[in-house]
Structure 1
């Protein structure tokens, strides 16, 4: 039949259908009065699908690209190019049964998938090609403006390589499916109409009230619909909601590039050059009864050159594959994913670990590739060793392609959420790699600072210093210091002190080192922290230096308490010092005084008897003992008087002690009779010397015969 004859046939045979459907009301297909969600209509459709042969179609890839642009069909089974045809398509190719559709303005063009020959052209006007589908000789292409009010759409139905029907509609239509000689057409956001592919009669209609119905697709002989989620057509679908239906919804959180589970079918379709083809999700639905899941429990997320296999219920990464060119097409199949890249290379990735199990190449450059993978089963043993997930995620962050930064940040976040010492080792490597994009490196450093595993790796990293002759650089000390504090890893203290004393350590890292040393509570750090404060407190003012000096004051107070008073008073009184640092030292001294006063007041209140207690004590005291000369409370001044005979020896304890502290803080617990119960001395290196001298002295009893705590400071 030639084109003129076909138009004549359409005018005679199809005009009644146009009259019924063009306005969307008054007739059968798409009519406003057609009932929806009827079991007596849907059940025969389901039975027809169940008895129809399983769809069988050769696995093929059709790419668009090159200069001048051409379509290239590649047979996956034979790994050979079927044909090449020049094409100025402004749409991605759409594989539909034995045809492939493209939009080559002002026409939609259908080519024979086997030979590439053009079998027909139809006027498209200004309507974009939304999608196409087919099974065997039956195919349908959808052109639609999308949107709502004023939408225009056209269905082009083909049988045997020729136009069979054309249906014009006044509402938006989504991406169709074909199964068992029937067309499944989503429209107006909530409807799915099932048409007989031969007669055009509407057989059934489903209306889903709580899901967007934008796509129809076929998998394992079943038809699925939805957009943000999936519903498989079953007898329960007539309920009109996802409740109780065979429903699936992925829960993976927000992904880089915000790819849709399935693209918005009612928005303008993406151009061949659109990033949507390179930032995408691929999946293959499966299940039985009223359950729907994804094959291999994998949702494949492609971001230009990276592929992440995600757990669909959590978004957790299972494996990462890195490619050497942009991936411009993908298709999930049982056991894996087929990818097609911009250079014409195709690979099959294992669903289990992402390793390559098959490779072929058309040699044709491509901006977008459509894939029909069907039951493609070719492939051999996976190549390469299986890397740990931590190593895969770490490797994914190191590609210099700036477009990958969002996906690399995603990889770091997944790495940070993983457990194990090897994860910490990878984060150390990433935080240390200054060639990484700053955002990626900063994220790795933040994640490193929050680690609670990997103590050995942390300490080993801190052992390295910047040495010009040795060609070594300093590790990421600041992040390592934060991690050491979080892990409470005191073995890191000597290394942190070493980096504190190293002039090559940058001030931002110094502040973090000082904070970590204060948190770790190792008193051996007090002296080097004091040295740092004395050395730099009068340097030229600098924001980072001021922060670091402030951190040193906080650390000293945390480690030494009142023992740090003398040094802080010295810093506060140095008129050459940095003003904010002097102020912070003064505030620290004031806080010490207030804390000591509050403690003494609380202790006095606790130890002062009530009037009733005093009266009772006096009543029980013999008259001859009423004139008691014992002190009511043992004060710091009384302790000083008792220790006066050994004052020189006490100062020698400080002078000869490790670090030669200027002061020592003593906390005494005395019984009511004046015997020494406990002696606590800080700093620890002078404790033994001071305690021995104190215990050798005799302290007076107090008149109330109660146990007392006294705080006393020894100064040299």
Structure 2
């Protein structure tokens, strides 16, 4: 065997050794297992049996059976006792110190002690097997077929150690089939259809295969706690304070989208953590308060597979000896006081089967709460398991007792262990809409034996009443009389109730009690406050009298409000009730007494009035509080106005365009035509041949123009335009800045004059740009034939009376390729050629002489072309020589295009140099000029 073979053999042995000695992996409870999977849940639901009626016991005997764990009395041993419910007959009993409540599982009774889980035969009580608990708390079991599944855990109620075991065992032999041990807490499992449902970590339910223990699916709640799960003939149920039924909707993992209901029972006394016993906590087999406060219900077959139905449409709440029954809307149907604390109960179609701690059983009717059947076993019961589904012994339901009567009996029950439930009965009594309830509450309040917690509950319940004011008024009219042994009315309960009812008819009686020296000091502040609130202005005279009488009384000199201790560790000083009463009277006068009332308060607040300092300071504080309130109100109004402005500005900002359109720019100039008319008119005086004025500028988002460029750029025109354009307010827009332009076109025409010259018809607005050049050439020819005594058309603009107003228009014509600045050829070239004439006069004269002949030929050919008699030579002359003539005219002494710029800068070059290089978006194309 070579070295390579030896190495491979060694590696294989090492791997086998690691597998054999390492922990065995089980395919369950992995944190990598997928949860809430549709396909997995569908397979589970397919495997579960169809829902059936829960109308028979589940035990192998098919009889209603109870298995009881007893107390140890007179030094005796504790026992487990199995008995038949219908007769109370004992089937068998064995000595056992059970730590948990028994469980009836088919033909087996299962209990646990501190060290072991023990199974007994249901028929005879023989011990079948025992299983040692590995230092864990047994929390419960279930059964499906011949297998029992149970869980034990530690850490469910806190602590560093969190361990859970779930074990599958043969029900009769106790042989272990499989087990899981994990770091985490388990709850009592449920089993049905070959599947085991194990609550895990209060958030998950792991679904295991009964035969192998492998996990086949997992449900995870994303917004609720899973505290329990149980199997039932109608399906699998789980939940916490609400009830879920396992359906295909459970895959959502949410309360809203699952099949879920929550019993609408409101706030119960010592609110149970869940509506079903917590599956993560052992159910005590000894006497315990935790087993005496419970909600009971039982599922029933539902109309469809996606809903939950409750047996008898009733929820039950047991609190020691008290039982309450509610309908599905949470309305209290009846209440009942039993002789013994309820240790356990089972909801049935006809009512609730209860088992008392002294072995007394009752079947309470679902509609009335009366006994349909009773049985007394005499067993000193610590815990009990019931398997009595379908138990129906007959019996009459009896007459319905008034709920008002049963609740009153519960309130006066002398069992002070049950004060919380008696206070709950007071709350439910006050909720009944019967005016007689107000009198009942007053009578209960005045019972001398009533505990303080209950008198407080009655007082608070009276405040919720909105009927029965006449009973409050009857009590309020009562006066203390020692000789007649008449007690003073309970003002501390009556006055707040009258205030809540806003019963103004009580004011005269309240004023009497306010002025009566027999009125207890502790209730005097409430009386005065009620006089102020219910009496308003009508009570001011009585309040003035009360304040004047007692403002300097030594009994009324204490602090108005509670005071903190002056030194660290000292005792706080409580408010004096008499002083508080004076303060309330002063406040009522300040609010309702008008000018005279405030004058009285001002006179009492000065030092010479001998008013006690706390009262005087309180009165001064009323004025200060009013000033501060006015300041706050003004500030709030200002803040609201600013907020409204800011909101309006934000809305306006949101409505602004990203940038202005050319139409908006045009409209703004049209609205401000008067401001620039003088500038244009002045330029016309200086330059009669002016055809148009072009403005290019930068607009900021606030609508202000800057960086203005003007063509022609004569100094007077530029200076005038800058001032006028800067004053124009353009619409606002969102973009930081934009480039804009505007063209002022000065249009004219020729009419028929003496000599028979025809008028020249204007070109259509959509004529191409070169047609304007052709027309200009024709116009020049016409102008030369106009008699000398007839002034040209532009001269007619000079007299102010006949001067035509400039026409503001925007060119809409796009330049052809190669001529990006075609919009300004004539005027700018005219201006630059005049500059060129001044710069080189000789060249200009030469150009004029040379051009005269060309222009004459061009004019003659142009006229022929206009009359439809152009030859090819005339067309070429107009196209080439005419364009040159258009850039230099002999009559004006202008040079040709090539000679015109001797030292000058073309207008388009100047405009281009002044454009903003930082502009973010390109300038929109300038509209074409209309000549």
2-structure distance, mates of 1:552, 1:51:
69
SS at 2:48's partner residue? Answer: helix
How far 1:110 moved relative to its partner? Answer: 1.5
How far 1:435 moved relative to its partner? Answer: 3.5
How does the TM-score come out when normalised to structure 2? Answer: 0.54
CA 1:559–1:380: 2 relative to 1, 3 Å? farther
How far 1:135 moved relative to its partner? Answer: 6.4
SS at 1:38's partner residue? Answer: helix
2-structure distance, mates of 1:232, 1:461:
54
How far 1:480 moved relative to its partner? Answer: 1.7
Match of 1:231 in 2: 244
Q: Give the alignment partner of residue 328 of structure 1, picking from 343, 355, 379.
A: 343
Q: Give the alignment partner of residue 248 of structure 1, picking from 245, 256, 261.
A: 261
Match of 1:578 in 2: 612
CA 1:533–1:141: 2 relative to 1, 3 Å? same
Q: How does 1:14-413 map to 2 (within 5 A)?
A: 25-26=25-26, 37-38=39-40, 41-47=43-49, 56=58, 57-67=62-72, 68-134=77-143, 139-145=148-154, 151-159=163-171, 161-171=172-182, 172-179=185-192, 183-187=196-200, 189-193=203-207, 195-196=209-210, 199=211, 205-210=217-222, 212-213=225-226, 215-237=228-250, 244-250=257-263, 252=265, 254-261=267-274, 262-267=276-281, 270=284, 272-286=286-300, 287=302, 288-310=304-326, 317-383=332-398, 385-388=400-403, 390-413=404-427
User: CA RMSD of the aligned region, Å?
Assistant: 4.2
Match of 1:676 in 2: none
Question: Relative to structure 2, which stretch is displaced further, 537-546 or 526-535?
Answer: 526-535
**Unmatched runs of 5 consecutive residues or more in structure 1:** 1-18, 596-716
SS at 2:312's partner residue? Answer: helix
How far 1:345 moved relative to its partner? Answer: 1.8
CA 1:558–1:454: 2 relative to 1, 3 Å? farther
CA 1:562–1:322: 2 relative to 1, 3 Å? farther
SS at 1:442's partner residue? Answer: helix
How far 1:329 moved relative to its partner? Answer: 1.6
1-structure distance, mates of 2:48, 2:196:
13
1-structure distance, mates of 2:180, 2:628:
83
How does the TM-score come out when normalised to structure 1? Answer: 0.68
Deviations 1:293-325 (A, max 9, x none): 433343333333333334566x55444333343
Q: Give the alignment partner of residue 465 of structure 1, picking from 466, 473, 479.
A: 479
CA 1:577–1:47: 2 relative to 1, 3 Å? closer
Kindly indicate whether the alpha-carbon contact (under 8 Å) linking 1:49 and 1:180 is maintained by their aligned counterparts in 2: no
How far 1:335 moved relative to its partner? Answer: 3.5
2-structure distance, mates of 1:338, 1:414:
24
Q: How does 1:580-599 map to 2 (within 5 A)?
A: 580-584=614-618
Deviations 1:419-449 (A, max 9, x none): 4423433433344345333233223213323
SS at 1:367's partner residue? Answer: strand
How far 1:130 moved relative to its partner? Answer: 1.0
SS at 2:439's partner residue? Answer: helix
Match of 1:505 in 2: 519
Kindly indicate whether the alpha-carbon contact (under 8 Å) linking 2:141 and 2:150 is maintained by their aligned counterparts in 1: yes
CA 1:25–1:244: 2 relative to 1, 3 Å? farther
CA 1:115–1:472: 2 relative to 1, 3 Å? farther
2-structure distance, mates of 1:454, 1:285:
41
How far 1:277 moved relative to its partner? Answer: 0.6
CA 1:369–1:24: 2 relative to 1, 3 Å? farther
Kindly indicate whether the alpha-carbon contact (under 8 Å) linking 1:101 and 1:141 is maintained by their aligned counterparts in 2: no
2-structure distance, mates of 1:63, 1:50:
28
2-structure distance, mates of 1:478, 1:496:
12
Instruction: Report which of the two has the higher share of strand.
Output: 1
How far 1:363 moved relative to its partner? Answer: 0.8
**Unmatched runs of 5 consecutive residues or more in structure 2:** 1-18, 559-575, 630-931
Return the structure number with greater relative CO, CA threshold 8 A, min gap 6.
Answer: 1
2-structure distance, mates of 1:455, 1:484:
7
Q: How does 1:412-491 map to 2 (within 5 A)?
A: 412-416=426-430, 419-433=433-447, 435-491=449-505
The number of equivalent residue pairs is 571
2-structure distance, mates of 1:493, 1:245:
56
CA 1:227–1:167: 2 relative to 1, 3 Å? farther
How far 1:202 moved relative to its partner? Answer: 5.8
Match of 1:545 in 2: 578
Question: Relative to structure 2, which stretch is displaced further, 246-255 or 23-32?
Answer: 23-32
2-structure distance, mates of 1:397, 1:48:
46
How far 1:546 moved relative to its partner? Answer: 0.7
How far 1:567 moved relative to its partner? Answer: 6.2
Question: Relative to structure 2, which stretch is displaced further, 379-388 or 455-464?
Answer: 379-388
